[in-house]
């Protein structure tokens, strides 16, 4: 028992910490189906922008914002603060382009957002 | 993003990691650390604090940094234990600054060790006259070891050809009002004997005792929660100032 607490317990704690710290790729995945599937909503926004369907685009962006909010709660402990801020800014700017019905700007913003999302936690 | 919550979680991870690493690194006291080990300790502590509050960097690379430094310290410790010469190189070695009562100015200059440093450390060691010192050695930890001249050494029992009593080490019999059964067995003391001695000292129950110890000559030291002091000494100077 003494051996267990002296060696095994600290070892288990360290392993748990390391697993927590490298869990970003895992916690990026959707846990609640469509609700927090950021990749799926990103694709939906892209399709809406390409077909210039601004109403659907705005609705998809709202879904994306909600999904990102849920994922942020999980990834915030392991990723860089600036990575989260960049995605927040991308979503805010994308919202502006959709409101202004500006396809080129929206696509550029979307491309940057997708890149930030891919790089998140790497 | 809830920055306070993230800082708290990171703080817990850094704190527990540091606690575990500190246990792995060993039991050296601050006073025994060499200058290099002292700096290593500060660096490791600094990485742990950055890990907690610097949210602009991912936590895992910072943890790897912490792990690297702890690993480096372990390797250094292993080298210094294994090889004596490398140990001198890494930790430095003791230097004689007073030899046969003479101050070694050259050695002190090399160490950038001032005369005021020497006299200050001698005073800490209870030496107020340089004339009393036969040898003074500046250890790798920066502490000064002093050997006084024979005429300035305190008289020992051996000098007087007397044999002292071996008191051994005290063993705790009661701590925080609870009798430690294991130590009773170890010292061959019965519960009844202990209770009897306690009542002889005016205690009705072990729960009234903060600590009770016994030495190898069966001499008890008892300290109760209620201290019956004849005259109380107050060293609080604030009270005096406000009274004035």
Over residues B46-95, the pLDDT tens digits come to: 999 999 999 988 999 999 999 999 998 888 888 888 888 888 888 788 99
Q: Is B58 on the interface with A (CB under 8 A)?
A: yes
Q: Which of B2, B48, B41, B7 is CA-nearest to residue B25?
A: B41
- Mean per-residue pLDDT for B195-211? 90
Q: Is A12 exposed, middle or buried (0-12, 13-18, 19+ CB in 10 A)?
A: exposed
- Chain B residue numbers with beta carbons less than 8 Å from the beta carbon of A76 are 1-2, 5-6
Q: Which of B163, B244, B168 is CA-nearest to residue B213?
A: B168
Q: Which pLDDT does position B117 carry in this prediction?
A: 93
Query: Are B10 and A77 inside 8 Å of each other by CB?
Result: yes
| Joined tokens for residue B30 | 């601050």
Helices and strands in chain A, H and E counts: 7, 0
Q: What are phi and psi of B118, to 5 degrees?
A: -65, -50
**Owner of token pair 């995945």:** A29
Chain B: give the shortest CA distance to residue A81, in Å: 5
Query: Are A80 and B2 inside 8 Å of each other by CB?
Result: no
Chain B: give the shortest CA distance to residue A51, in Å: 33
Q: Which pLDDT does position B148 carry in this prediction?
A: 94
Terminal C-alpha separation, chain B: 55
Q: Is B201 exposed, middle or buried (0-12, 13-18, 19+ CB in 10 A)?
A: exposed
pLDDT in tens, B186-196: 888 899 999 99
| Nearest Cα residue in chain B from A8 | B20
- Residues of chain B with pLDDT > 70, as a percent, come to 92
Q: Which pLDDT does position B244 carry in this prediction?
A: 44
**Owner of token pair 């004689």:** B96
pLDDT in tens, A89-115: 999 999 999 999 999 999 999 999 999
User: Radius of gyration over alpha carbons of chain B, in Å?
Assistant: 27
Q: Which pLDDT does position B235 carry in this prediction?
A: 67
Is the pTM for the entire model greater than 0.80?
no
Q: How far apart are CA A35 and CA A46, in angstroms?
A: 18
Q: Is B107 on the interface with A (CB under 8 A)?
A: no
- Chain B residue numbers with beta carbons less than 8 Å from the beta carbon of A73 are 2
| Joined tokens for residue A64 | 């994306």
pLDDT higher than threshold 60 for residue A121: yes
Contacts of residue A98, defined as CB under 8 A and 6 or more positions apart, other chains included, come to: A49, A54, A57, A58, A61, A106
Complex ipTM value: 0.83
Q: What is the DSSP letter of A4?
A: I
Helices within A53-102 (DSSP H only): 54-75, 81-99
Residue-averaged pLDDT of chain B: 87
Q: How far apart are CA A19 and CA B128, in angstroms?
A: 59
- pLDDT tier for residue A34 given thresholds of 50, 70 and 90: confident
Q: How far apart are CA A34 and CA A60, in angstroms?
A: 12
CA neighbours within 13 Å on the CB side: how many for B134? 7
pLDDT higher than threshold 60 for residue B240: no
Chain B: give the shortest CA distance to residue A90, in Å: 15
Query: Are A13 and B16 inside 8 Å of each other by CB?
Result: yes
- pLDDT tier for residue A70 given thresholds of 50, 70 and 90: very high
Angle at alpha carbon of residue A97, lines to A92 and A102, rounded to 5°: 170
Provide the phi-psi class of B148: left if phi over 0, else alpha when psi is between -120 and 50, else beta. beta
Q: Check if the beta carbon of residue B66 is closer than 8 Å to that of residue B21.
A: yes
Name the residue among A10, A21, A73 with its Cβ closest to that of B60: A21
Name the residue among B2, B20, B58 with its Cβ closest to that of A78: B58
Q: How far apart are CA B213 and CA B171, in angstroms?
A: 5
User: Radius of gyration over alpha carbons of chain A, in Å?
Assistant: 19
Task: Kindly provide the b/e burial profile for residues A74-88, where b requires at least 16 CB atoms within 10 angstroms of the residue's own CB.
Answer: bbbbbbbbebbebbb
Query: Are A80 and B17 inside 8 Å of each other by CB?
Result: no
Name the residue among B9, B16, B57 with its Cβ closest to that of A77: B9
Q: Which one has a higher pLDDT value, B174 or B242?
A: B174
């Amino acid at each position: 028992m003494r051996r267990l607490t002296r060696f095994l317990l600290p070892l288990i704690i360290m392993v748990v910490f390391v697993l927590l710290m490298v869990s970003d790729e895992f916690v990026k995945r959707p846990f609640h189906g469509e609700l927090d599937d950021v990749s799926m909503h990103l694709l939906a926004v892209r399709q809406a922008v390409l077909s210039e369907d601004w109403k659907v685009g705005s609705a998809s962006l709202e879904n994306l914002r909600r999904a990102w909010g849920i994922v942020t709660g999980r990834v915030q402990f392991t990723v860089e603060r600036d990575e989260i801020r960049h995605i927040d800014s991308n979503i805010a700017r994308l919202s502006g382009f959709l409101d202004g019905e500006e396809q080129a700007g929206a696509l550029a913003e979307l491309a940057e957002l997708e890149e930030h999302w891919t790089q998140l936690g790497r | 993003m809830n920055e306070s919550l993230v800082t708290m979680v990171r703080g817990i991870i850094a704190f527990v990691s540091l606690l575990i690493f500190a246990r792995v690194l060993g039991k050296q006291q601050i006073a025994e650390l060499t200058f290099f080990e002292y700096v290593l300790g500060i660096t490791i502590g600094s990485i742990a604090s950055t890990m907690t509050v610097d949210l602009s960097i991912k936590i895992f690379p910072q943890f790897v940094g912490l792990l690297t430094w702890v690993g480096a310290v372990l390797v250094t410790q292993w080298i210094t234990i294994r090889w004596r010469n490398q140990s001198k190189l890494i930790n430095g070695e003791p230097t004689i600054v007073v030899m046969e009562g003479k101050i070694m100015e050259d050695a002190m200059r090399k160490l950038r060790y001032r005369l005021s440093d020497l006299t200050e450390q001698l005073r800490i060691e209870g030496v107020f006259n340089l004339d009393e010192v036969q040898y003074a050695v500046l250890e790798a930890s920066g502490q000064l070891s002093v050997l006084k001249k024979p005429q300035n050494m305190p008289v020992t029992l051996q000098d007087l050809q007397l044999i002292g009593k071996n008191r051994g080490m005290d063993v705790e019999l009661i701590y925080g009002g609870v009798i430690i059964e294991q130590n009773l067995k170890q010292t061959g003391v019965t519960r009844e004997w202990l209770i009897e001695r306690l009542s002889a000292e005016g205690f009705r129950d072990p729960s009234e005792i903060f600590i009770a110890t016994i030495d190898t000559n069966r001499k008890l030291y008892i300290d109760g929660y209620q201290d019956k002091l004849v005259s109380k000494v107050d060293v609080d100077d604030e009270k005096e100032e406000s009274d004035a």
